[in-house]
Structure 1
């Protein structure tokens, strides 16, 4: 798949024209209209002009190039874990994290108009969505096929007009493309939520009531380096809410780590912890300081 399915293309073109004509109000997201990232844009700013982008790279580049003011990118899901590639794209982008939000993911099994659940044989969707529904899909006896994103999958089944083919996507996608909802709440667990980060070219200005800080660093290649690097957060009572690692530089011995810290670098306890982190690391890079969003906001 290299472009949006026909039912989505006209809507995408209309949204792009509006967003690119008013860059300060525009927020880029990955996926077709009706994607959960589209819902995240609405949660971040109800007045924003959403700009659909085919890939995460395209959404980030739209901010880098100044076509839009911000981008909303998913980073992790409570059922299926880390969103692939985003951990590498964030540091490479040069953008700052200026906010976060949570979206409660309520998947629907969508069919074409007139389709019946008994006649469905295959289902397409983004791998994250399929993973979040894998037990239910297996129980229904459906063959899961990976697709570029959830909302585009909904548009694709309408384009194919095949009653044996269904999609996993949102209720919004069903409304936008005229799909029939065959099963609601398809996800394997009710706590299914996705965390999204808001990216901009410049850091957030002004005081932050409930600050959260995101950093990326590479430890020195010595025994217990990670233990020592993170020890300062424990001894200073600073809470880490996220820790991820990935290999870098083509070596199996060099790893970068991405962490979320409750607090801001100017807080004395955080400052002491960061000083110890820097001492035991090759380098440390600040990705953003922003307002912590309560998890309960995903149900609002």
Structure 2
């Protein structure tokens, strides 16, 4: 069923460039033969979707080790897009070098800051310094194009194939159970499937019991929350915005009623969209 859905999906899909990243792998999980459009940053992915230049965009939203991607959350608050799907990707970080380079030759490890943070033990064992790159694939590409013989990149296997690099070690992340959740954004969300999830953003009124009142609405209607996360709203000290995922589709009668009740008790509610739940 999943394979048939992937094969049926067509259209341009924007990902964070360059090629050879986990974002590209996520795009291939979503669509069998995606027409990839490489974006310079997350904001450009949102712009491509909003302007209709692509049908879909893939954005990383959270990692099981490092937590949420705050820039992606900020853009979801501000920009007018919907969540169409989610993809959970197991992360396998690899240590990549030029041919002929051994572990003892490595003086520097280059990668995206999140990848470096997820591989601290390896870096300590190597006794190497670190350098940030815009993406894991950029790090791998730099090793190849600059012929860096005393450097290694932490990047996916796809980058090793793309840039013809040697895989010195696989699964070098500190925690082996390492997963990243990606969202597929579009101008519309997904039609109901019977096994759905809805993502919302809300601001609470600044008064005692505001959070309790909001959570009570979910509990009284038997709605299961699969995620609740707060982060500073950037409006005032002590003011927070909440990101909530809940079981069910926004078009279902009980979910509709819950969302209407929430609008009455919160200062701001944004429904990001409903989409198939990953089991």
Q: TM-score, normalised by structure 2?
A: 0.91
Corresponding residue number in structure 1 for 2:167? 181
Question: What pairs with 1:1-300 in structure 2 (closer than 5 Å)?
Answer: 25-204=11-190, 206-294=191-279
2:192 and 2:249 in contact (8 A); partners too: no
Instruction: Give the secondary structure class of the aligned counterpart of 2:246.
Output: strand
Corresponding residue number in structure 2 for 1:15? none
Corresponding residue number in structure 2 for 1:12? none
**Residues 106-163 of structure 1: CA deviation (Å, up to 9, x unaligned):** 0001112321111001111111111111223223322222211111110011122121
Distance between the aligned counterparts of 1:86 and 1:79, measured in 2? Answer: 17
**Residues 217-269 of structure 1: CA deviation (Å, up to 9, x unaligned):** 11101122112212222233322122222323531143221111111234344
Instruction: Give the secondary structure class of the aligned counterpart of 1:85.
Output: helix
Unmatched 5+ residue regions in structure 1? 1-23, 295-300
Q: Report the Cα offset of residue 35 of structure 1.
A: 0.3
**RMSD value, Cα:** 1.6
Unmatched 5+ residue regions in structure 2? 1-9
Corresponding residue number in structure 2 for 1:21? none
Larger mean Cα displacement after TM superposition, 236-245 or 261-270: 261-270
1:221 and 1:253 in contact (8 A); partners too: no
Distance between the aligned counterparts of 2:233 and 2:30, measured in 1? Answer: 32
4+ long deviations beyond 4 Å: none
Distance between the aligned counterparts of 1:278 and 1:269, measured in 2? Answer: 14
